[in-house]
Structures are given as structure tokens and as C-alpha cells.
């Protein structure tokens, strides 16, 4: 994409700390000269307050049009029969790939120099939620059953996404994580399709595979052997939090949900109602999600500058918010980041 071209994108400030951290991210992106032309829309509690709907039609229409959104965290309404907003978005736009990178930024942690990208299948597996109970005698819930499914087409699509991501982002290795020794059919077809996809990238991107339990242990003992990991829904959900834990927890974890019809970028953390409105929230997870968004539209140059500014601010200048043990507020961190955009 050329440097001067504007790209329409939907901006959902969200709830709780959402408006504070999105304002910070937008200010840094503006200073960076990012190409996004924002269409601002509400969702979550802000959607209910403004339009009586946690996911108003105008917000969905905007995402359908721009195919690109930056989303602040949304407070899940309690009661009232509202369906999960994130699940609705995932299904509505077939957001089949969940991208969760983890990179060491804070110095002095247990794991230095970690740089792992986990790609999780987002629509199938055991999260298809086909669950039910079976009665025995007087107990109507004596047995609980769950059926998961993986389709060959989806296994292929998620593995192709992972290899293509590796190619476009200069990554060298993709690890297929499965449990095909026990779930021979369910995750066996994932492994088969992954190996098939890997053949197309032979000589360019290395491919290996790991059983999920061994992978979990190795992620703690020797995480540096991993580059890109691709796996099915449930395993990806668990391992992505594990790798976030290696690099300082969910406060530093960005995420992206990618599909053929749209891509939605967000922080992994929630709306943090306990600190909302105090001006002390850490905007870095959403900032890094904006970095993923820049890479998604091909602006690796801007994403690299943003990453370098985050590293300098947090590592070298030690400007950090309270959750990272620092004393900066959101505004102070934002100004420091802008000052470090070389
Ligand atoms: P949370 O992530 O909002 O907060 C957990 C703890 O982490 C709190 O102490 C909070 O202050 C702190 N924290 C989180 N983000 C922070 C940041 N950027 N800077 C500083 N501190 C931060 O989790 P929760 O309290 O379980 O959830 C609150 C609401 O958010 C709930 O309604 C939940 O459903 C929703 N939620 C939304 C998303 C999303 O929209 N993607 C994700 C998770 C939770």
C-alpha cells in the first residue's frame, strides 16, 4: 500500500478504560503518520447507552464496509440475555484466525528475548459448544457430553494463514500443535492438513510438530525454540495465555481476529472498571494491537517504528504505568511514546 493512501477503519473506543486507551493509541498513530481514516462507532455498554444495543447495526455496517477495526475492551452486560459481543463478531465476520503475539519488552523478567506468535483456530473444535447432559436415575445432569468438530477445509485455512503470516513477517519456523496421538480424528486431520500446507513452503519456512502437552512443558523450559505456533481452538486458547504469562501477563498482550470479511484488532485485557476514568490505564496492549493492524495493511515500516518507540519508552527510559510497577499515567506514557517515534 502506498504511503499517501488513506485507509478507512472502524474505531470502537469501548467501555471502562477503553476511551482512555484508544485516545492514547489514536494520538500515537496520528503522530506516527498512520494512514487510518477513522469511523468511530459504539459497542458494549456504550452501545446500550447510546442505541439500546450492545452491537448496533451502524457499528456492524461500518466494519462490513471498512473490513478493519480497532476495538477497545467491552464490558459484557450481566443478565438481560445479551449474547457475547466477541462471539457474535467472530461468527458474523468469520474471524477464523486469532493471532496472539508475545514478545519480551520489560527487562528483568524470568524470560528475556521471547518472540512467539501463536495462531489459534477461532471457529471450530470444542468451542462449537455442542454440549448436553444425560440423566442417570434422579440426576438429570449425571453425565455431561461435549462434541467438537474440525473440518479439513478450516484446518487447511488456518495452517495456510499461519504459513502466509510467517512468510510475510520474516518468520522462519511454524510448529503444528496437536493431540493426534489420542484425538486421532479430531486433531489428526489438523496435523495432516498442516503437513500438506507445509510442503508448499518447503525450503522457505521450516515446519515441525508437537503434541500439545509436550509443547506446554517446552514453552516453560525452552520457549526460545518456538517462532510461529499454529493450533486448534481449545489448545490455542490455553497456550496463548501461557505465552502471555511468559512476557508479563495480559496487560501487555495484543490480539487480532482475522477473517476474509474483516479483521478486528484489540487488547486481550478487559475494560478494567476498577481504574476507569482515573487516567492511569496502560495503553500498551492496544498500542501493540494497532501495530498488528499496521502490519495487516502492509505498513511494516510504521509498525517497526511503533515497536521501537514502545521498546525505548518502556525498556530504556523506564516510563511505565502502575500495573508495570511505574509511576507514569496514561497521558505521560503517551507523550513519552510520541517523543520516541524516530
Ligand atoms: P480486566 O482485564 O478488565 O481487569 C483485570 C485487572 O487487570 C484489573 O485489576 C484491571 O485494573 C487490570 N487491568 C486490565 N487492563 C489494564 C490496563 N490496560 N492497564 C492497567 N490495568 C489493567 O478483567 P475483568 O475485570 O475480569 O473484566 C472487566 C470487564 O471486561 C468484564 O465486563 C469483562 O467481561 C470484560 N472483558 C472484555 C474483553 C474484551 O472486550 N476483549 C476481554 C476481557 C474482559
Question: Per-residue DSSP letters for 150-210?
Answer: --HHHHHHHHHHHHHHHHHTT--EEEEEE-TTTSTTTTHHHHHHHHHHHHHTTTTSEEEEE
The reply to whether 325 and 206 lie within a common domain is no
Residue with cell string 503434541: 211
Cα(17) to centroid(ligand 1), Å: 9
**Domain membership of residue 51 as a residue range:** 1-93+261-342
The C-alpha atoms of residue 211 and residue 65 are separated, in whole angstroms, by 40
ipTM: 0.97
Q: Provide the residue-wise pLDDT of the chain in tens; the chain has 342 residues.
A: 445 689 999 999 999 999 999 999 999 999 999 999 999 999 999 999 999 999 999 999 999 999 999 999 999 877 666 777 888 899 899 999 999 999 998 877 778 999 999 999 999 998 776 789 999 999 999 999 988 999 999 999 999 999 999 999 999 999 999 999 999 999 999 999 999 999 999 999 999 999 999 999 999 999 999 999 999 999 999 999 999 999 988 778 999 999 999 999 999 999 999 999 999 999 999 999 999 999 999 999 999 999 999 999 999 999 999 998 899 999 999 999 999 997
Q: Residues for the chain: how many in total?
A: 342
DSSP 129-142: EEEEEEEETTEEEE
Residue 284 maps to a domain? yes
Cα(237) to centroid(ligand 1), Å: 17
Closest residue to atom 11 of ligand 1, CA basis: 272
Domain count across the chain: 2
Q: Which of 232, 251, 270 is the last residue of a domain?
A: 251
The reply to whether 196 and 272 lie within a common domain is no
Residue with cell string 510520541: 338
- Please give the number of the atom of ligand 1 that sits closest to the Cα of 44: 40
DSSP state of 83: P
Closest residue to atom 41 of ligand 1, CA basis: 73
Cα(173) to centroid(ligand 1), Å: 33
Residue 130 maps to a domain? yes
Q: Which residues, 6 or more positions from 175, have their beta carbon under 8 angstroms from its beta carbon?
A: 207, 208, 209, 210, 215, 226, 227, 228, 229, 230
- Please give the number of the atom of ligand 1 that sits closest to the Cα of 283: 18
pLDDT of residue 249: 80
The reply to whether 107 and 227 lie within a common domain is yes
The C-alpha atoms of residue 77 and residue 43 are separated, in whole angstroms, by 11
The reply to whether 266 and 326 lie within a common domain is yes
DSSP state of 321: B
Which of 22, 252, 271, 283 has the most ligand 1 atoms within 8 A of CB, as the residue to mutate?
271
Cα(137) to centroid(ligand 1), Å: 42
| Nearest Cα residue to 117 out of 287, 244, 285, 206 | 244
The reply to whether 23 and 159 lie within a common domain is no
The C-alpha atoms of residue 27 and residue 116 are separated, in whole angstroms, by 28
Find out whether 256 and 99 touch, Cβ atoms under 8 Å: yes
At 154, list the grid cell.
478450516
Find out whether 68 and 296 touch, Cβ atoms under 8 Å: yes
Q: Which of 251, 271, 287 is the last residue of a domain?
A: 251
Residue 297 maps to a domain? yes
Paired sense of beta strands 97-103 and 254-258, if any: antiparallel
pLDDT of residue 3: 52
Closest residue to atom 34 of ligand 1, CA basis: 76
The reply to whether 286 and 335 lie within a common domain is yes
Q: Which of 227, 251, 275 is the last residue of a domain?
A: 251
Find out whether 179 and 235 touch, Cβ atoms under 8 Å: yes
What are the backbone dihedrals phi and psi of residue 185, each rounded to the nearest 5 degrees, phi first?
-85, -55
Could you give the C-alpha distances from 289 to 61, 224, 257, in angstroms and in order?
A: 22, 22, 10
**Active-site annotation, residues:** 127, 179, 213, 237
The reply to whether 66 and 140 lie within a common domain is no
Residue 36 maps to a domain? yes
Cα(272) to centroid(ligand 1), Å: 4
Residue 208 maps to a domain? yes
Residue 77 maps to a domain? yes
Find out whether 100 and 41 touch, Cβ atoms under 8 Å: no
The reply to whether 220 and 116 lie within a common domain is yes
Residue with cell string 486421532: 184
Closest residue to atom 39 of ligand 1, CA basis: 73
The reply to whether 140 and 25 lie within a common domain is no
Which of 249, 269, 322 has the most ligand 1 atoms within 8 A of CB, as the residue to mutate?
269
Closest residue to atom 38 of ligand 1, CA basis: 270
DSSP state of 82: P
- Please give the number of the atom of ligand 1 that sits closest to the Cα of 21: 18
- CATH code, domain with 233: 3.40.718.10
Residue 256 maps to a domain? no
Which of 252, 270, 326 has the most ligand 1 atoms within 8 A of CB, as the residue to mutate?
270
At 93, list the grid cell.
465476520
The reply to whether 105 and 222 lie within a common domain is yes
The C-alpha atoms of residue 109 and residue 21 are separated, in whole angstroms, by 25
Q: Any residues with Cβ below 6 Å from ligand 1, and which? A: 17, 21, 73-76, 86, 251, 266, 269-275, 281-282, 285, 323
**pTM for the whole thing?**
0.93
Closest residue to atom 30 of ligand 1, CA basis: 270
| Nearest Cα residue to 338 out of 15, 30, 57 | 30
The reply to whether 150 and 22 lie within a common domain is no
The reply to whether 125 and 149 lie within a common domain is yes
Residue 301 maps to a domain? yes
Amino acid at each position: 500500500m502506498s504511503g499517501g493512501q488513506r485507509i478507512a477503519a472502524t474505531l470502537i473506543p469501548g467501555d471502562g478504560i477503553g476511551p482512555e486507551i484508544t485516545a492514547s493509541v489514536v494520538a500515537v498513530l496520528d503522530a506516527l503518520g498512520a494512514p487510518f481514516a477513522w469511523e468511530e462507532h459504539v459497542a458494549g455498554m456504550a452501545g446500550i447507552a447510546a442505541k439500546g444495543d450492545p452491537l448496533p447495526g451502524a457499528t456492524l455496517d461500518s466494519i462490513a464496509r471498512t473490513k478493519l477495526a480497532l476495538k477497545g475492551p467491552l464490558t459484557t452486560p450481566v443478565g438481560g440475555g445479551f449474547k457475547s459481543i466477541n462471539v457474535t463478531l467472530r461468527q458474523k465476520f468469520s474471524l477464523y484466525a486469532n493471532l496472539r503475539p508475545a514478545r519480551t519488552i520489560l527487562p528483568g523478567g524470568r524470560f528475556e528475548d521471547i518472540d512467539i506468535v501463536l495462531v489459534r483456530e477461532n471457529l471450530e473444535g470444542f468451542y462449537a459448544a455442542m454440549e448436553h447432559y444425560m440423566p442417570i436415575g434422579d440426576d438429570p445432569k449425571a453425565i455431561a457430553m461435549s462434541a467438537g468438530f474440525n473440518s479439513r477445509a478450516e484446518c487447511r485455512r488456518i495452517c495456510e494463514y499461519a504459513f502466509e503470516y510467517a512468510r510475510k513477517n520474516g518468520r522462519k519456523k511454524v510448529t503444528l500443535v496437536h493431540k493426534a496421538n489420542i484425538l486421532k480424528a479430531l486433531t489428526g486431520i489438523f496435523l495432516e492438513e498442516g503437513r500438506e500446507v507445509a510442503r508448499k513452503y518447503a525450503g522457505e519456512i521450516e515446519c515441525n510438530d508437537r503434541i500439545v502437552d509436550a509443547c506446554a512443558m517446552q514453552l516453560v523450559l525452552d520457549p526460545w525454540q518456538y517462532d510461529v505456533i499454529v493450533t486448534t481452538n481449545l489448545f490455542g486458547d490455553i497456550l496463548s495465555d501461557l505465552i502471555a504469562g511468559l512476557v508479563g501477563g495480559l496487560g501487555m498482550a495484543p490480539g487480532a481476529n482475522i477473517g476474509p470479511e474483516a479483521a478486528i484488532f484489540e487488547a486481550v485485557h478487559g475494560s478494567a472498571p476498577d481504574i476507569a476514568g482515573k487516567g492511569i490505564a496502560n495503553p500498551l496492549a492496544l498500542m501493540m494491537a494497532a501495530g498488528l493492524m499496521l502490519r495487516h495493511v502492509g505498513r511494516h515500516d510504521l509498525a517497526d517504528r511503533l515497536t521501537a518507540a514502545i521498546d525505548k519508552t518502556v525498556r530504556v527510559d523506564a516510563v511505565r504505568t502502575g500495573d508495570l510497577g511505574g509511576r507514569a499515567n496514561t497521558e505521560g506514557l503517551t507523550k513519552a511514546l510520541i517523543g520516541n517515534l524516530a
